[in-house]
Structure 1
Amino acid sequence: MTEEALLELTKKKNTSSPNDRIKELYARLSTQQRDFLGLQLSQALDFSSLAPFLNIHLNNLGDPFVSNCATLNTREMECEVLDHFAGLWHAPGRVPLDPDSYWGFLLTMGATEGNLYALWNARDYLAGDPLMHGGSGEKNRVPVLFYSEDTHYSITKCTRLLQLETFHKLGNGLYPGLCPITKDGRWPDGIPSCDGSIDPKHLAALVDFFVARGYPPIVFLNVGTSFKGAYDDVESVWQALLPVFERHGLRIRATENERQDYWVHIDGALGAGYLPHLEKAKALGLTEERVPIFDFRLPYVSSIVTSAHKWFGAPFPSGVFMTREKYRLNPCAQAQYVVTPDSTLASSRNGLSALILWYAINNSVGDTPARVASRCARLADYATRRLEKIREWHPGFWVKRASASLAVRFPTPRSEIFERFGLSADGGASHIFIMPHVTRSMVDALAEALSAPNAFEGCV
């Protein structure tokens, strides 16, 4: 809906009673929800039994593992949810003060909050700021961030908020014309990717350039990009980076007395929730999809985030951040009156988020999550094949799907179709995401609409 249309709608409705407005809004959103295909937002949710909690302020204040005076909380559920994700991501169990133990918290916003916190932690860790449990660090180093051209647009906001140097900004500022991966030496905005997945060789060349000049790297990888739903191959990235690190004498493993000289962060907004269940589905023989490994089984992974409202289907943005205890920085403050370290990004956090994610996890047990994941993978394959038939009516029509992705891309149709199915667009391409609520009949309805003679009328 355009801003003008929204303003006009507001003018028409401002004389209605609040209850009438709510009824009209619910009717409109319920209609939109039935055909919603465009963004990676699961609509398979039923939290009606939690409605009474809307009348209780639930505040998970401060560190989830430290009790405090905010007794109206769901910290017990939050810790259980964190334990669940530690299991999904093969992290060691939570043992206070154990350097390899996991630590994390549930996000009040989506994965962007977790990405911001991870980059903040990475910047200050590599710059030598004090850690929770000691360990020396070289002072005053300037970390540099590396990310692909398919990274979520919020990366720009995060780097500006943190005043974090990126390879693009630093390259243009100090080393113009010297980019090692372009013919003319210009620095690209993001590292080139192949159908959404970062190019490990180009990444390694750029990291080599800056490490040779004394800049420790922060490597930001995607496990389910926002538009293409693609996965960076974390293991291949490490195989490309390791010789660079060894050649320049970077510390590969953190010890009790020394820090490592890099940070690898995984933005798994969608994929970090979906892939563990797809991996289980493959073990059960329910799918043949290739499932990339991205989690804490890989000792070089420093932090991971996921969004609860994407794969798991929370009714509002929320998510999970997780790292290892040995990477934690000293909290900025510990307010005596709340009796808890201020160790998260948002001091007050949404306790309802923890309750909703706990409820979703505990109502999807056994092999049900694996079966849902395998069904979505099969449906993504079906959607690709179904949409390919549209070439019979529109010869210039094309369909693309990255390996194991839940996103299927195609040319952007006219506005009526675009709005009906809640599509999103980028550079003349639109996509659908096969989330748990999507059915074959929804895919067929889209295919039928796209097959109409005027489906692309008026499109550039």
Structure 2
Amino acid sequence: MLHTPEALRDRSWESRMSYDPWTRHEQRFPGDAAAARLEGLRSHFVERSAHYIGFPNSRLISFAELGEFLRFNINNIGDPFHPNDGINTCHFEREVVNFWSQQFHLHPASAWGYITNGSTEAIMYGIVQGRDRLENPVLLFSEESHYCLHKIAHLLRLPYRVVASHGDGSLDLASLDDAIRHLDGRPFILNLTLGTTFHGAIEPPQQVLELLESRRCRSFHVHVDAALYGPLLTWIDGAPLFDFRLPIHTLSFSGHKFLGAPIPCGVVLSHSDPVRPFDGSAEYVGSLDTTLAGSRDGLSALVLWLVIQRVGAKGLAALAEESLQLAVDFATRMERAGIGVTCHDHGCILVFRRPDEALARRWQLATRGDFAHLVTVPGVTSEMLESFLQEWIEAMAQGVPDLRPSSPGTAETTAAGGMR
């Protein structure tokens, strides 16, 4: 019964509870002033959400049925496959891990993973696993990778090398080949990004692995950062191969991007063989702790589980197709309006010359140097995009400087160079 949306909306269980400290404390500490502030914040969020097109955060469902679970101290401490007896949602978390393991072709007998507090933790887990598997490895990642790679290298005290990218954000395979050659056989951890942060370029795991094979590399660990495009491209016929059908080692993705979780979270997936608990964890927490975070938010597991239950594989596949088609359609619309735009194949990130500051702030565009981008994830509608375009055209007609380019990709390297 608990596993159905109807059960989640059914509040009759409240009258059957023998333990209810919440009502007493809420009466003791009324929050009239807080309620007014929160209503103002809610109204602000509603208004801003109508002009939110620059970042890859979907809006799928409201998750209202999970509101009652905020009263519980839900702690998914430790390994979700070895939970303790406390208040947790580890069984829901395992369902999430198993669902996405199946989509990414990780064999059920060896599938393992957990829900993280964001993609940075998920990527870091993959790199930690590589560090522990290899002897004195070097971390390799492209200049278009998420900035957290620099942070992770610093925290783990890993030597690293940054591989060059092309002006359109795609990986320079010749530069990667050169970096590997200069390692002289030293083990390395390689992070590949499925949808780089600004351009949405795909760093192709299959081509990279073919390169590693041609160089007879044997001591390496490949982590795929599929933060945005992993849960999107897995449904798309003809998309580049990126999952465990290839000999990758770990893969991670975000829960708050394409999947629309209102709480920042991520998922990391791995083969179970190299997973080891940290020393001394079992007795105190009542669980083996194989995770980086220790105490973990159990509500995120319910959120990602509810997406699977409510939207499901067919719904996610339909949303993925719609997102990519909207990107194609709006890119065509911008070109017809005389505004140059680039968008990678199988992508939903449109890059163009940065409009005036007021317009960029109003529509919450992601900006870098002279360029900006928008993202056509679920919740961003064709009507919103048309409103944005009309406001831009009107601003230019009123004398705001015309920043329309001939090609956003050609000047990107220079624009980004001053910010690194």
Establish whether TM, by shorter chain, passes 0.5.
Answer: yes
Classify the secondary structure of the residue corresponding to 2:367.
strand
Report the Cα distance in structure 2 between the residues aligned to 1:366 and 1:329, rounded to whole angstroms. 31
Matching residue's letter, 2:354: T
Pair 1:164 & 2:158 matched:
yes
Pair 1:444 & 2:391 matched:
no
| Alignment partner, residue 9 of structure 1 | none
Pair 1:116 & 2:89 matched:
no
| Alignment partner, residue 377 of structure 2 | 435
Matching residue's letter, 1:271: Y
Report the Cα distance in structure 2 between the residues aligned to 1:387 and 1:438, rounded to whole angstroms. 16
How big is each residue's C-alpha offset from its partner over 1:341-369, in whole Å with a ceiling of 9 and x where there is no partner? Answer: 22101111110000010011110135222
Classify the secondary structure of the residue corresponding to 2:284.
coil
Report the Cα distance in structure 1 between the residues aligned to 2:169 and 2:111, rounded to whole angstroms. 30
Report the Cα distance in structure 2 between the residues aligned to 1:378 and 1:458, rounded to whole angstroms. 30
| Alignment partner, residue 232 of structure 1 | 203
Inter-CA distance 334–27: structure 2 relative to 1 (3 Å threshold): same
Classify the secondary structure of the residue corresponding to 1:219.
strand
Which residue among 231, 256, 268 is the counterpart of 1:321?
268
Deviation at 1:57, TM superposition (A): 1.0
Pair 1:291 & 2:235 matched:
no
Verify the 8 A CA contact 1:197 1:233 in the aligned structure 2.
no
Deviation at 1:458, TM superposition (A): 6.2
| Alignment partner, residue 200 of structure 1 | 173
Q: After alignment, is 263-272 or 36-45 more displaced?
A: 36-45
How big is each residue's C-alpha offset from its partner over 1:240-266, in whole Å with a ceiling of 9 and x where there is no partner? Answer: 12121x2xxx53xxxxxxxxx110000
Matching residue's letter, 2:364: G
Report the Cα distance in structure 1 between the residues aligned to 2:94 and 2:395, rounded to whole angstroms. 54
Verify the 8 A CA contact 1:102 1:324 in the aligned structure 2.
yes
Q: After alignment, is 367-376 or 58-67 more displaced?
A: 367-376
Report the Cα distance in structure 2 between the residues aligned to 1:64 and 1:459, rounded to whole angstroms. 54
Which residue among 306, 312, 327 is the counterpart of 1:380?
327
Verify the 8 A CA contact 1:125 1:329 in the aligned structure 2.
no
Matching residue's letter, 1:225: T
Unaligned 5+ runs, structure 1:
1-15, 96-100, 128-141, 168-188, 252-260, 283-289, 392-396
Report the Cα distance in structure 1 between the residues aligned to 2:361 and 2:204, rounded to whole angstroms. 34
Which residue among 22, 26, 33 is the counterpart of 1:17?
33
| Alignment partner, residue 361 of structure 1 | 308
Pair 1:61 & 2:4 matched:
no
Matching residue's letter, 1:434: T
Verify the 8 A CA contact 2:277 2:288 in the aligned structure 1.
no
Report the Cα distance in structure 1 between the residues aligned to 2:167 and 2:273, rounded to whole angstroms. 34
Inter-CA distance 366–120: structure 2 relative to 1 (3 Å threshold): closer
Matching residue's letter, 1:195: D
Verify the 8 A CA contact 1:146 1:220 in the aligned structure 2.
yes
Verify the 8 A CA contact 1:222 1:266 in the aligned structure 2.
yes
Verify the 8 A CA contact 1:64 1:105 in the aligned structure 2.
yes
How big is each residue's C-alpha offset from its partner over 1:47-92, in whole Å with a ceiling of 9 and x where there is no partner? Answer: 00111001111100101111314x2000110000000011110000
Q: After alignment, is 304-313 or 329-338 more displaced?
A: 329-338
Report the Cα distance in structure 2 between the residues aligned to 1:302 and 1:37, rounded to whole angstroms. 33
Verify the 8 A CA contact 1:80 1:358 in the aligned structure 2.
yes
| Alignment partner, residue 174 of structure 1 | none
Inter-CA distance 243–320: structure 2 relative to 1 (3 Å threshold): same
Report the Cα distance in structure 2 between the residues aligned to 1:157 and 1:352, rounded to whole angstroms. 27
| Alignment partner, residue 281 of structure 2 | 334
Classify the secondary structure of the residue corresponding to 1:193.
coil
Which residue among 186, 206, 209 is the counterpart of 1:215?
186
Deviation at 1:330, TM superposition (A): 4.7
Report the Cα distance in structure 2 between the residues aligned to 1:367 and 1:412, rounded to whole angstroms. 36
Verify the 8 A CA contact 1:305 1:320 in the aligned structure 2.
yes
Report the Cα distance in structure 2 between the residues aligned to 1:192 and 1:85, rounded to whole angstroms. 30
Deviation at 1:192, TM superposition (A): 2.2
Matching residue's letter, 2:123: N
Classify the secondary structure of the residue corresponding to 1:344.
coil
Matching residue's letter, 2:127: L
Verify the 8 A CA contact 1:144 1:215 in the aligned structure 2.
yes
Inter-CA distance 51–23: structure 2 relative to 1 (3 Å threshold): same
Deviation at 1:27, TM superposition (A): 0.5
How big is each residue's C-alpha offset from its partner over 1:385-431, in whole Å with a ceiling of 9 and x where there is no partner? Answer: 1111232xxxxx42111222110011111222112211110111110
| Alignment partner, residue 155 of structure 1 | 149
Deviation at 1:329, TM superposition (A): 3.8
Deviation at 1:194, TM superposition (A): 5.6
| Alignment partner, residue 213 of structure 2 | 242
Which residue among 105, 116, 121 is the counterpart of 2:114?
105
Inter-CA distance 453–353: structure 2 relative to 1 (3 Å threshold): closer
Deviation at 1:164, TM superposition (A): 0.8
How big is each residue's C-alpha offset from its partner over 1:101-135, in whole Å with a ceiling of 9 and x where there is no partner? Answer: 0111111x2111111111111112102xxxxxxxx
Deviation at 1:199, TM superposition (A): 2.0
Tell me how many residue pairs correspond in the alignment.
Answer: 371
Deviation at 1:335, TM superposition (A): 3.8
Q: After alignment, is 363-372 or 305-314 more displaced?
A: 363-372
| Alignment partner, residue 89 of structure 1 | 104
Verify the 8 A CA contact 1:311 1:435 in the aligned structure 2.
yes
Inter-CA distance 452–106: structure 2 relative to 1 (3 Å threshold): same
Report the Cα distance in structure 2 between the residues aligned to 1:265 and 1:149, rounded to whole angstroms. 16
Pair 1:302 & 2:249 matched:
yes
Verify the 8 A CA contact 2:53 2:380 in the aligned structure 1.
yes
Matching residue's letter, 1:193: H
| Alignment partner, residue 133 of structure 1 | none
Deviation at 1:459, TM superposition (A): 8.6
